[in-house]
A and B are shown apart, each in its own frame.
Chain A
Amino acid sequence: MSLLGWPAEKKLPSRRRQLRRRSVALALLDEFGRAFPEITYDLLWESPTINAQAWRVGTVRHVRVYGGLVRHATITRPGLALMIAHETGHHLGGLPRDPEMRWMTWQGQADYWAARTAMPLVFGSQAYDATLRGARQILKLHEDLIPLLAEGDEPDLSARCRYFIFCAGASGTEIPPCAKAEYRRSFNQEYPTNNLV
C-alpha cells in the first residue's frame, strides 16, 4: 500500500537498459542542476513509482524523479527532460498558482513554463524538437497509466490538453484555451487573466 497511491512499474527492463536509463537521468539532473542552481534535484532510483515530484522544505526547493519513471519503456531522454522541466516549473513557473496548494505553480502553467522557458535553457537550439518529442512521450505515458489508476483517480489535467500546452510553450504562443477551461473545471473558478493571483 502506498499513501500516495501512484502507479508503479510491474516489471524491470534489462540490466543494460537500466544502466543506460540511469545514466541519462543522472546526466539530465546534473544539467538541470546547473541551469537552476536554486533547485535541489535527486533521483530515487530504487523506487518503482512512475512519477516525479516537487516539494519544499522551508525555503529549500526540491525536485525528485522516481526510478519507475526513468525505467518506463515509453520515456526516453526528451520525455524525461520535459518532466524534470515540469517539476522545476512548479517552483519557478510563476502565476497562476495552484489554488489548493498556494506555494506552487499550477500544473498547466508548470507545463507551459517547462516548454517555453526551461527546455530552451537546457537544450538551446534543440529545445523545440526535444520538447515536442517529450510531449508525445508524456501523452503516451498518460495513456499507458490511466488504466492503472484507481477509479476516480484520473489525472487532474487531461493528457491531450497537456500535450497542447507543451506545444504552445515550445512554439511561444499563448497558453491554449483547453488549459483555461480545465482550470475552471478543476477549481470552479475563472482562470486568472492577470498576474494578481
Chain B
Amino acid sequence: MGALIKTRGTKLLAAHLNEEFSTWIAFYRGKANYFDATRAGYNPAGTGGLLYATNNIFAPHSLRTDQKSLLPYFPPGTPHTNLENRWLWFLNTSAANVALGSLMPANDIAIASAIHKALGGAYDSITFDAVETSGPQYVTVSDAYDDGTLYMNIVLMTPKSIPKAGNKATGLLPLD
C-alpha cells in the first residue's frame, strides 16, 4: 500500500502476505485446498474460512515458534501483538464481528477463491492490498504484469468502521 503515512505495523502485515505468496508460493500450491471455497467443509461464516487456513497452515519456513506461516513473525521485543490480534479479529466473519466492520463472509470467499485460482494457475505471485472506502466492503481481483511476470492483485476495499462516516449529526459536510 502506497500511503503518505505508511506505518510499520500495517505495512508489515501486507508485506508478510506478499512475501509468502511470492517467495513461498510453491509451498502454498500444495495447500491450495485450504482456499477452495467450493469444497465441502469450507464455511466462511465465523472461523471456518480464511481464519481456519491462517490457524492451520504450518510451514517449516516460518520463523514463528507455532509455524503458522500466514501470520507474520515478530522478532523478540517487537511490539506488534495488537496487530496480530487485530488481524485475527478481522478474519473472524462472525455476525458480531461483521457488524463492527470485520471481513464479510462473501469477501472471505472472494479472497479465498482468488488465491485458489492463482495457486492453480500460471501466476508467479499474489499481491495483497487494502484500501479504505466509503461504501460496503468488497474485493477486487485483477491480473497484473511486472517485469514479465504475471501476478494476481487482490485488493480489499473496506470502510473505516469506527468512527462512523460523517453525517449531519457529526457536523461533517457531505461531498457534492
List residues of chain A with CB under 8 Å of any chain B CB: 1-8, 12, 15, 18-19, 22, 43-59, 62, 64, 66-67, 69, 83, 86-87, 90-91, 98, 100-105, 107, 110, 138, 142, 145, 149-157
Instruction: Choose from B82, B162, B173 the contact partner of A19 (Cβ within 8 Å).
Output: B173
Q: Mark B4-22, 1 if CB is under 8 A from A, else 0.
A: 1111111100110011000
A-B residue pairs, 6 tightest by C-beta: A90-B2, A58-B142, A54-B2, A100-B15, A45-B175, A152-B79
Instruction: Choose from A45, A49, A58, A66 the contact partner of B143 (Cβ within 8 Å).
Output: A58
B: number of interface residues (CB 8 Å): 54
Distance to closest chain B CB from A10 (angstroms): 9
Residue of B nearest to A83 (CB): B4
A83 to B6, CA, bound (A): 12
- Please name 17 further chain A to chain B contacts, defined as beta carbons within 8 Å, in addition to the given A1-B100, A3-B90, A152-B79, sorted by A numbering: A1-B161, A1-B162, A5-B10, A7-B5, A22-B175, A43-B175, A45-B166, A62-B131, A100-B15, A101-B14, A101-B18, A105-B2, A142-B5, A150-B7, A152-B8, A153-B7, A153-B9
**Are the CB atoms of A152 and B9 closer together than 8 Å?**
yes
Instruction: Choose from A8, A12, A45 the contact partner of B174 (Cβ within 8 Å).
Output: A45
**Are the CB atoms of B142 and A57 closer together than 8 Å?**
yes
B160 interface contact, C-beta 8 A = yes
Instruction: Kindly identify, within residues 116 to 164 of chain B, every residue whose CB is under 8 Å from any CB belonging to chain A.
Output: 127, 129-134, 140, 142-144, 146-147, 153, 155-156, 158, 160-163
Instruction: Choose from A5, A50, A103 the contact partner of B86 (Cβ within 8 Å).
Output: A5
Residue of B nearest to A148 (CB): B5
Instruction: Choose from A55, A107, A152 the contact partner of B80 (Cβ within 8 Å).
Output: A152
B172 interface contact, C-beta 8 A = yes
**Are the CB atoms of A53 and B153 closer together than 8 Å?**
no
Distance to closest chain B CB from A70 (angstroms): 11
Distance to closest chain B CB from A145 (angstroms): 6
**Are the CB atoms of B131 and A150 closer together than 8 Å?**
no
B65 interface contact, C-beta 8 A = no
Given A4-B132, A101-B18, check contact A49 B160 (CB 8 Å). Answer: yes
**Are the CB atoms of A46 and B79 closer together than 8 Å?**
no
Instruction: Choose from A1, A8, A66, A110 the contact partner of B2 (Cβ within 8 Å).
Output: A110
Given A3-B86, A8-B163, A12-B172, check contact A59 B144 (CB 8 Å). Answer: yes
B89 interface contact, C-beta 8 A = yes
B171 interface contact, C-beta 8 A = yes
